[in-house]
Structure 1
Amino acid sequence: MRVSRAETTLNYVILLGFALFALTPVLTILLTSVSAPLGEPDGLYLSNFVEAWTVGGFGRSLGNSVVVAAIVVSLAAVLAIGAGYAFGTMRFRGSTPLFYLFLLGLMIPTEATVFPLFFDLRTLGLTDTYLAIAMPQVAQSVAFGTFWLRAQFRAMPVSLLEAAALDGAGPMRALTRIMVPAARPAILTMLVLVFMWTWNEFLIALVMAPGGSLRTAPLGLANFQGQYTSETALLAAGAVIVALPTVILFLFLQRHFIRGMLEGASQ
């Protein structure tokens, strides 16, 4: 089907409109982050980032977020790949009800479970630890990852597994040598999404670490906002600092991320 020049122009106009709509808030925050603080003459103030980093203590909160994200992403990746592989390629009794049980992790909101989890973890003496912040997010991420990778593994040709079996490869070898490399875009997409969700998680980190010693990046930004509510330049600089790791990760993996999203949409 041929597309006329008018339709092509209209498509570009619509895409440009959506791009402007999405980029305007980002550009506004970036420009605000380097604007003049209160009482200073107009100009470009890159020192806002240094002051925000020093006063807000973002080094410690970002470090806590890195540790939590590393725990969540690594555990969720291993568990979701294994569960997705089992549900996507194997047939066993009770697989369908068990898979629906996994899906409950996507259906139940965090707000409904975080407080009962807090009392359970407090009884076990695990509050104010990295595990208390990470493990609930691991459970949520495994639910999504299993759903995501099950569809990916089920869409792969059965001949791949049959050829591996003829070559003497067992289930684990077929998974690590054939299925995981073939599903690399989908797995990277899942990892990027899990990292972004974990990095931006606020409620679980707030409830599970009430002592404040393990304040993550979003909590650090909220605390910084409480100190500098009227200083918009420093607040914007702090927001850029907190968002920068996810932006960098997405820029490095955007090709695989987009490819994985397109493959998931086509299934």
Structure 2
Amino acid sequence: MRITRTERIVNYVILILFAAQALIPILYVLWLALSSERIGDSSWFHPENFAAAWEIGKFSEYMKNSVVIAAIVVTTALVLSLMSGYVLGILRPRGSQFLFYLFLLGIMVPSEAIVLPLFFDLRAYGLTDTIWAVALPQIAQSLAFGTFWMRAFFRGVDPSLIEAAQLDGAGHIRTLWSVLLPIARPAVVTQVVLTFMWTWNDFLIPLVMSPAGKMRTALLGLAFFQGQYTSGTTLLAAGAVLVALPMVVLYLLLQKQFIAGMTDGAVKG
């Protein structure tokens, strides 16, 4: 089917409108972050706003907490997802279908429905206000998606690759590490980016699991910064840019693999 010139123009116009709808709010926040705090001052480009927001909002501590939590969640969920995806997608033992549906419950059940009972369980073990109280629930949620994601990828792998590795004497760990992992790089990068994004943007679990505020994350710190430290929009916008910056940098670094993984997953789906 051949696309006419008019249809191509209409497609570009629609894409430009959607892009503008997404970019204009971002550019507006960036413009606010670089504006002057003083009323009546029309000068622009004040990068010192970021330093002021960083110091006043105590983002150094909150960013550190978020980075540590995200590193634990992303790494643990990825390793466990690779193993569970390999078992359910390649080995397929008896009862694997039931186990797969059990993992899917982690995707279907929202965190709001279980966060309070989970808080009392973790408090009974003395884990509240620790890094594990924030990380463990997010690992469980990310593992549910990761198992679904990696299982779908491994089920699409050519069986001849697995058979060739077995003929060469490779065990399951060697097959997963040396044969499947290199070709699974787009799927792995996609899971890493999505898991990092979900962990970094999680608000409810850090709020509930750390009632004393000892493990306050960057996003939670931004919310408290808005109400406690400033009523103006300039420093608040600067703080929002600081909180969003790690996600933007990670996506820019891994965007090719991320898009390849999403496209491959869409085709297989």
How high is the TM-score relative to the length of structure 2?
0.97
Once the two structures are superposed, what CA deviation does each residue of 1:9-33 show, in whole Å capped at 9, x if it has no partner?
A: 1111111111001111111111111
Number of the residue aligned with 1:91: 92
Q: CA deviation at 1:3?
A: 2.0
Matches of 1:2 and 1:39 in 2, distance apart?
Answer: 57
Number of the residue aligned with 1:57: 58
Matches of 1:74 and 1:228 in 2, distance apart?
Answer: 34
Matches of 1:202 and 1:169 in 2, distance apart?
Answer: 44
Matches of 2:159 and 2:200 in 1, distance apart?
Answer: 37
For the pair 1:259 / 2:253, whether they are aligned, the reply is: no
Number of the residue aligned with 2:147: 146
Once the two structures are superposed, what CA deviation does each residue of 1:50-79 show, in whole Å capped at 9, x if it has no partner?
A: 110010000000000011001100100000
Matches of 1:219 and 1:41 in 2, distance apart?
Answer: 31
For the pair 1:230 / 2:239, whether they are aligned, the reply is: no
Q: CA deviation at 1:40?
A: 5.6
Q: CA deviation at 1:160?
A: 0.6
Number of the residue aligned with 2:9: 9
The AA in structure 1 aligned to 2:221 is: G
Alignment of 1:177-188 (within 5 A): 177-188=178-189
**Does the CA contact (< 8 Å) of 2:202 and 2:219 recur in 1?**
yes
Larger mean CA deviation between 229-238 and 239-248 belongs to 229-238
Matches of 1:210 and 1:102 in 2, distance apart?
Answer: 29
Once the two structures are superposed, what CA deviation does each residue of 1:148-181 show, in whole Å capped at 9, x if it has no partner?
A: 1100010111111011111111111110001111
For the pair 1:67 / 2:68, whether they are aligned, the reply is: yes
**Does the CA contact (< 8 Å) of 1:38 and 1:231 recur in 2?**
no
Q: CA deviation at 1:228?
A: 4.4
Identity %: 58
Number of the residue aligned with 2:126: 125
SS in structure 2 at match of 1:242: helix
Number of the residue aligned with 1:170: 171
The AA in structure 1 aligned to 2:28 is: T
Alignment of 1:26-41 (within 5 A): 26-39=26-39, 41=41
The AA in structure 1 aligned to 2:41 is: P
Matches of 1:216 and 1:192 in 2, distance apart?
Answer: 18
**Does the CA contact (< 8 Å) of 1:127 and 1:208 recur in 2?**
yes
The AA in structure 2 aligned to 1:32 is: L
For the pair 1:22 / 2:33, whether they are aligned, the reply is: no
Q: CA deviation at 1:42?
A: 1.4
How high is the TM-score relative to the length of structure 1?
0.98
CA RMSD of aligned residues (A): 1.0
The AA in structure 2 aligned to 1:64 is: N
**Residues matched between the structures, number:** 267
Once the two structures are superposed, what CA deviation does each residue of 1:178-237 show, in whole Å capped at 9, x if it has no partner?
A: 111111101100000000000111110011111112110011101100124530011100
**Does the CA contact (< 8 Å) of 2:193 and 2:250 recur in 1?**
yes
Matches of 1:80 and 1:116 in 2, distance apart?
Answer: 25
Matches of 1:65 and 1:112 in 2, distance apart?
Answer: 23
The AA in structure 2 aligned to 1:15 is: L
Larger mean CA deviation between 42-51 and 94-103 belongs to 42-51
Unpaired segments of 5 or more residues in structure 2?
A: none
